[in-house]
Amino acid sequence: MVSALSKGWATMSRIVIFGAGGRAGRHAVTEAVARGHQVTAVVRDPAKYPDLAAEAVVVVAGDVTRAEDVAKAAVGQDAAISAVYRPDVSSREFYVSAAQALLDGLTRSGVGRLLLVGIGTALETAPGVAVHDAPGFPPEYREFSLGHAAELEVLRTADTEIDWLVLAPPPTVLDNDAPRTGRYRIGHTQVLPDDEAAAAFSYADLAVALLDEIDTPEHHRTLAAVAAPARH
């Protein structure tokens, strides 16, 4: 386990963010712009997100499950973030299709770094045992979590040069309104220790972790847990 502060910002780059209209996506857009990056924000219907457009943000339409859309949106970009969510289709179908399309489309457009927002319930409580495998885990939530697990399997088994990383926050509800602290812990595939003195993790600091791994990559081709640091 490693404790981290937000690192020094790298030179300006171009980042394409899929699922930019959701909570994680919006915070990633905000963090990227604050660091001086240019952002292409991809949503299914730009008309629903007029507030996303800004001086450093271009909003475009795209379907993350279509490699052609991914490639078109990613042309000229230096890195990609996927913070996508679809409540109206099967989780397994959606996340598998998205992972396949992202790897295909980003390869076509020459983007080599991909950060994906994972889910805490797909993290392990012991080697090979995920949170969603616990007895009594709600079936509807387990199905959604299994979709993320299937996405991870696509990434792990793909014959690809894409340098991908899945960052999974704690298996709890994230705070959408908490201010950015720039502090977080990052570990491996298991849930980070539940320190009672740890603060609730926020979407703002999840975005910090995502952008840190674009600006100064330290973790590669794996699932990594992220969480708030312990309070001292």
- The model's pLDDT over 146-201, given as tens digits with 9 standing for 90+, comes to 999 999 999 999 999 999 999 999 999 999 999 999 999 999 999 998 755 557 89
Q: Across-strand partners of 164?
A: 114
Q: Report the alpha-carbon distance of residue 188 to residue 167 in Å, rounded.
A: 9
Percent of the chain with pLDDT over 90: 89
Q: Report the alpha-carbon distance of residue 102 to residue 65 in Å, rounded.
A: 7
Tell the residue number behind the tokens 């052609």, with chain if given.
68
Average pLDDT over residues 113-128: 96
Q: Which CATH class is domain 2-227?
A: alpha beta
- Return the pLDDT at 1: 46
pLDDT band at 10; cut points 50, 70, 90? low
pLDDT band at 12; cut points 50, 70, 90? confident
Distances (CA, A) of 226 to 87, 170, 184, 230: 24, 7, 7, 12
Please give the distance of CA 173 from its chain centroid, rounded to a whole number: 15
Rounded to two decimals, the pTM is 0.94
Give the residue ranges of DSSP H helices in 81-202.
91-109, 139-157
Q: State how beta strands 129-130 and 222-227 pair.
A: unpaired
Query: Where exactly are the structural domains of the chain?
Result: 2-227
Paired tokens of 199: 């603060």
